[in-house]
Amino acid sequence: MAAPPPDPPLIQATGIVKRFPGVLALDGVSFELRAGQAHALVGENGAGKSTLLKVLTGVYRPDAGELRVAGAPAAFGSPVDAQRAGVQAIHQEIGLVPLMSVARNLLLGREPRTRLGLIDVRALHRRAEELLRPYGVEVDVRRPLRSFGVGTQQMVALARAVSVDARVVVMDEPTSSLEPREVDTLFGVIGGLLEQGIAVVYVSHRMDELFRVCESVTVLRDGRLVHTGPLADLDRLRLVSLMLGRDMAEVRAEGLTRFSGEHGSGDHGRAADTPVLEARGLTVRHRIADVSVTVRPGEVVGLGGLLGSGRTETAKAIAGALPLDAGTVAVAGRALRRPTAASTTRAGVALLPEDRKAEGIVPALSIRENIALAALPALSRAGLVSDARIDRVVDVFMKRLRIKASSVHQPAGELSGGNQQKVLLARWLATGPKVLLLDEPTRGIDVGAKAEVQALIEELAGEGLGVLLISSDLEELVEGSDRVLVLRDGAVAAELSGGEVTEHGVLAAIAAEGED
Amino acid sequence: MTSATTVPPAADAAAAGGRARAERAGHLLQQHGALIVLVLVGAVSAVAFPDFAGGANLANLAVAASFTAMIAVGMTFVIITGGIDLSVGSQFALGGVLAAWASQYGWVPALLLPLAVCGTFGLVQGTIIARTGMAPFIVTLAGLLGARGLMLAISDEGADTYLVKSAAFARLGQGTLLGLAYPVYAALALFALGGLLLRRARFGQYVFALGGAADSARLMGVPVARVTAAVYVLTGLLAGLAGALNAARLSSGVTILGTGMELDVIAAVVIGGTLLTGGAGALSGTLAGVLLLGVIQNVINQIGSLTSAYQQVVSGAFLAVVVVVQRYLSRVQRLS
């Protein structure tokens, strides 16, 4: 900025540190927000973005650092404190009461009252309609909030926030469930807020939106501030590189992964083979649109893209964990009608989810039980489980995957991240799958274990398994995959094969302008 | 901007229209189901049992239902916040014994003592629930045992029966106006006041917000702890009042009363369409629910061959049906 602005920033966070057990979520991050400014906050998973938002809105107290609101030091003990200071968050979960009417939600605690102290219902409805008018919302305000779509609910939340004197509005992925028409309305409203001098912190994974709405940007990575400044100074490619931690000049020709780095070479993945997985036109409303993926035996297909681009959703849709609105899935040439988790598992699809703790490992059960879990139907007869058969299977995978544990009876929750991942892998391999869907298989595990898991993936593919590999680690993606599909905003942006599979190729595809 | 949606808008709108109609129908049934069934059962009973529609019988029915009704007003508030109060039956008995004892000092102490004691009892329960976040079920279960124990302690394990000494106080329970006993008017007045409090006062809005989404309510500035405590004070006050008026009607503090009464009250509220999960409900429904249970009891008494034990079987079956239907209706209305 050329001339120093006369007013202090609306929000000034300096050197914010936030620690969680074992993790330094924010490492001396500074953040500044001025009146009438829309500021983009971006970063991939684990960048510290949501932690910073929670510090700004009073959910977390920082361990160190200073927070000032309009020049005055602020210490938010709770979200209510932050609201009193004029910082309002508009969450995905709206933060209103769905069963109450729109009007009663808008004016809860500030209802117009008659002389007797009773709520003046007519005035309540009139006032609510007035409040909503600037937001382009014309609805029957007497009806319960939940009877309206997400877009309307969000507008009501915004109207309430602004009418209780918000000076800073924090929007976390506000467009993720909106129709295009609603997105336009929202952007119009945001423009109006900025004109009133309200500042907006805008979090989104959609590049188009960032460049359309925001004036400045802050990029976080691994809990640290990577870049902050006017958005106009950056192009898309540069922004994506900053988010992914890949400086274009530094992209190495050869990485440190244990993948051999050959793409589409050798005898695997020939066009003549029947694909082990053929997904056509997968569509899940608001998540992915018309995504097609083909994986041949022995082939590793990478799925690239930013957080929120639909990678995880694609894997879940293939595995039947997310109901499809359109599209077909065929495994080894056999089409599945209405894939469900049970039918895809039977057909030979195995999904290793991204969130091991929440969706995979049962921490209190032993390694042995965790491995046997998915294969139980195959290991039992007439509902009775054969211990001897389980022991055999578990023994094979413990050795084969080199799972390090004191015994097979050790609770899986005590294992390191890498060994937990191997237990999960063993669980699914025990079902004898034809295709493996790996969602971030090496996230959060140490370097040594990472290399082992990577080597294992290549080995399994070498034995004829088809692998769909989702990874935010560009190097892993590029060196591990024979082909790479790049997703953007829930659709396939590019398919790279052979010599095109480079970090630069993936970055360029991610950063390319979305077509209207 | 690329769009990630391909659902044709027309089909979407048509589906939404159908859904909205189903939702409205579900809402109507949820709110007025008890009233509809009450009218049906009442009409059938009037035809089947000549004595049912008689003035004396209806007056009896009204008096018998009025005590449950008073407590049900408070219970409706509690359940809308997503809570439950199991201690009301014990508090009802405690209130009756306290009132009978205090009636030796006149009708004013006889009325105020149970209100003070049960109101305080409710405040303690409510404060524990609000401050510690313990489950209302557990806290008021302790309250159920505690209040009955207290009652037994002051009545020497039920051996001392306090007779109402004040004629003025006895009149509060026994006097009639236009053929209906005073407690009936008290119950109706409480429903009217409760309705205003629930729909037309800020407190009522807080109660709905708390039950509908406690976290959102806190963010919207609702004094969550105070509202939570207040609804249990309300049930305490009303249980104490109902106990006192019942003692006045019976001319004594009967120690064995009120056992299981909390379940009748809860059943009436739920049958009246208030969601056990909180966030939705209405006092009109509660009134219909109380009357419906009262009518069922009355009719079973009319069928001489059935013992009164069957009344509980029928009420229980009724509650089961209502809960299943509510679950279905919630899904239609997408409440859950």
Split at pLDDT 50, 70, 90, the class of B136 is: very high
> For the residues of A39-74, what is the DSSP string, one character each?
EEEE--TTSSHHHHHHHHTTSS--SEEEEEETTEE-
B53 pLDDT higher than 90: no
B11 pLDDT higher than 60: no
The pLDDT assigned to A162 comes to 85
Measured CA to CA in angstroms, residue B19 lies from A424, B9, B30 at distances of 42, 15, 16
- SS3 call for A514: coil
Report the alpha-carbon distance of residue A229 to residue A238 in Å, rounded. 13
Q: By C-alpha distance, which of B268, B288, B294 is closest to B71?
A: B268
Split at pLDDT 50, 70, 90, the class of B74 is: very high
Measured CA to CA in angstroms, residue B85 lies from A139, B78, B133 at distances of 38, 7, 15
Q: By C-alpha distance, which of A79, A85, A87, A98 is closest to A156?
A: A98
Q: By C-alpha distance, which of A407, A437, A410 is closest to A425?
A: A437
pLDDT in tens, B224-270: 999 999 999 999 999 999 999 999 999 888 888 888 899 999 999 99
Residue B80 CA to its chain's centroid (Å): 11
How are the residues of chain A apportioned to helix, strand and coil, as percentages rounded to the nearest 5? Answer: 35, 25, 40
Q: Does A233 touch chain B (CB under 8 A)?
A: no
Query: Do the Cβ atoms of A491 and B2 come within 8 Å?
Result: yes
Other residues' Cβ atoms within 10 Å of the Cβ of residue A31:
23
Split at pLDDT 50, 70, 90, the class of B191 is: very high
Mutate to test the interface with B, among A100, A213, A286 (most CBs of B within 10 A): A100
Report the alpha-carbon distance of residue B64 to residue B181 in Å, rounded. 10
Contacts for A247 with CB less than 8 Å, ≥ 6 apart: A241
Q: What residue in A sits closest to B223 (Cα-Cα)?
A: A109
Query: Do the Cβ atoms of A286 and B5 come within 8 Å?
Result: yes
Query: Residue B89: CA atoms inside 13 Å, Cβ hemisphere, count?
Result: 17
Q: Does B336 touch chain A (CB under 8 A)?
A: no
B275: in domain: yes
Q: Does B221 touch chain A (CB under 8 A)?
A: yes
Is the complex ipTM higher than 0.90?
A: no
pLDDT in tens, A48-66: 888 898 899 888 899 999 9
B23: in domain: no
By DSSP bridging, strand A38-42 and strand A483-488 are: unpaired
Residues of B in contact with A290 (CB under 8 A): 6
Report the alpha-carbon distance of residue A3 to residue B204 in Å, rounded. 53
E strands, A231-284, are 277-284
Q: Does B208 touch chain A (CB under 8 A)?
A: yes
Average pLDDT, whole number, for chain B? 86
Residues of chain A with pLDDT under 50: 1, 251-255, 264-269, 515-516
Report the alpha-carbon distance of residue A203 to residue A283 in Å, rounded. 24
- SS3 call for A504: helix
Task: Find where tokens 């937990």 sit.
Answer: A420
Query: Do the Cβ atoms of A96 and B216 come within 8 Å?
Result: yes
CB A321 within 8 A of CB A341: yes
Query: Where are the alpha helices (H) located in A380-495, listed in sequence order?
Result: 387-400, 417-429, 447-462, 474-480
Q: Which domains does chain A possess?
A: 277-511 (3.40.50.300)
B15: in domain: no
Q: Does A515 touch chain B (CB under 8 A)?
A: yes
Residues of B in contact with A99 (CB under 8 A): 208, 212-213, 279-280, 335
pLDDT in tens, A407-424: 888 888 888 777 888 888
Q: What residue in B sits closest to A180 (Cα-Cα)?
A: B3
Length of chain A: 516
By DSSP bridging, strand A199-203 and strand A168-172 are: parallel
B14 pLDDT higher than 60: no
Split at pLDDT 50, 70, 90, the class of B4 is: very low
For A397-430, b where at least 16 C-beta lie within 10 A, e where not — what string?
A: bbeebebebeebeebbeebebbbbbbbbbbbbbb
Please give the interface size between A and B, counted as residue pairs whose CB atoms are below 8 Å apart.
108
Measured CA to CA in angstroms, residue A351 lies from A217, A222, A425, A466 at distances of 36, 27, 9, 12
**Which of residues A19 and B308 earns the better pLDDT score?**
A19
Query: Residue A452: CA atoms inside 13 Å, Cβ hemisphere, count?
Result: 17
Residue B29 CA to its chain's centroid (Å): 20
B202 pLDDT higher than 50: yes
Residues of B in contact with A489 (CB under 8 A): 2, 4
Query: Do the Cβ atoms of B216 and A285 come within 8 Å?
Result: no
Report the alpha-carbon distance of residue A57 to residue B263 in Å, rounded. 43
Split at pLDDT 50, 70, 90, the class of B3 is: very low
Q: Left (φ > 0), alpha (ψ -120 to 50) or beta: where does A445 sit?
A: beta
Q: By C-alpha distance, which of A64, A58, A82, A57 is closest to A26?
A: A64
Tokens (6 digits) for A200:
């907006």
Q: How many Å is the Cα radius of gyration of chain B? A: 22
Tokens (6 digits) for B226:
């105070």
> For the residues of B239-258, what is the DSSP string, one character each?
HHHHHHHHHHHHTB--TTTT
Q: Does A146 touch chain B (CB under 8 A)?
A: yes
Average pLDDT over residues B296-307: 77
By DSSP bridging, strand B176-177 and strand B180-181 are: antiparallel
The pLDDT assigned to A402 comes to 82
Q: Which one-letter amino acid corresponds to residue B84?
A: I
B219: in domain: yes
Residues of B in contact with A179 (CB under 8 A): 3, 5
Query: Do the Cβ atoms of A97 and B335 come within 8 Å?
Result: no
Tokens (6 digits) for A108:
């809860």
- SS3 call for A278: strand
Measured CA to CA in angstroms, residue A346 lies from A11, A341, A354, A397, B200 at distances of 54, 9, 21, 20, 57
Selecting from B5, B201, B335 the residue whose C-beta is nearest the C-beta of A179 gives B5
How are the residues of chain B apportioned to helix, strand and coil, as percentages rounded to the nearest 5? Answer: 75, 0, 20
Q: In the beta sheet, which residues pair with residue A17? A: A27, A64
Report the alpha-carbon distance of residue B194 to residue B190 in Å, rounded. 6
Mutate to test the interface with B, among A87, A88, A108 (most CBs of B within 10 A): A108
Report the alpha-carbon distance of residue A346 to residue A340 in Å, rounded. 10
Selecting from B201, B208, B335 the residue whose C-beta is nearest the C-beta of A97 gives B208
B6: in domain: no
Q: By C-alpha distance, which of A45, A43, A176, A25 is closest to A472?
A: A45
Residues of A in contact with B8 (CB under 8 A): none
Chain A residues 345-404 with CB within 8 Å of chain B: none
B97: in domain: yes
pLDDT in tens, A357-395: 667 788 888 888 888 887 777 777 777 777 888 888 888
The domain of B87 spans: 31-332
Tokens (6 digits) for A295:
């994986």
The continuous run of DSSP H or E covering A140 comes out as none
Whole-model pTM over 0.90: no
Query: Do the Cβ atoms of B7 and A99 come within 8 Å?
Result: no
Q: Does B128 touch chain A (CB under 8 A)?
A: no
Q: Does A512 touch chain B (CB under 8 A)?
A: no
Angstroms from B134 CA to nearest CA on chain A: 21
Measured CA to CA in angstroms, residue B235 lies from A481, B122, B123, B279 at distances of 66, 7, 10, 18
Query: Do the Cβ atoms of B212 and A100 come within 8 Å?
Result: yes
B1: in domain: no
Residues of B in contact with A83 (CB under 8 A): 219, 221
Chain A residues 82-141 with CB within 8 Å of chain B: 83, 94-100, 104, 108-109, 111, 113, 117-119, 121
Phi, psi of A156 (to 5 degrees): -65, -45
Report the alpha-carbon distance of residue B166 to residue B176 in Å, rounded. 17
By DSSP bridging, strand A64-69 and strand A72-73 are: antiparallel
Question: What total number of domains does chain B contain?
Answer: 1
Query: Do the Cβ atoms of B219 and A283 come within 8 Å?
Result: no
Tokens (6 digits) for A152:
């309307």
B305: in domain: yes
The continuous run of DSSP H or E covering A230 comes out as strand A224-230
- SS3 call for A15: strand
Report the alpha-carbon distance of residue A283 to residue A286 in Å, rounded. 9
Query: Do the Cβ atoms of A119 and B3 come within 8 Å?
Result: no
Q: Does B82 touch chain A (CB under 8 A)?
A: no
Q: What residue in B sits closest to A95 (Cα-Cα)?
A: B216
Q: Which one-letter amino acid corresponds to residue B322?
A: V
Mutate to test the interface with B, among A88, A91, A99, A208 (most CBs of B within 10 A): A99
CATH number at residue B114: 1.10.3470
The pLDDT assigned to B160 comes to 75
Query: Residue A99: CA atoms inside 13 Å, Cβ hemisphere, count?
Result: 27
pLDDT in tens, A160-217: 888 887 899 998 888 877 777 888 888 988 998 999 899 999 988 788 888 999 999 9
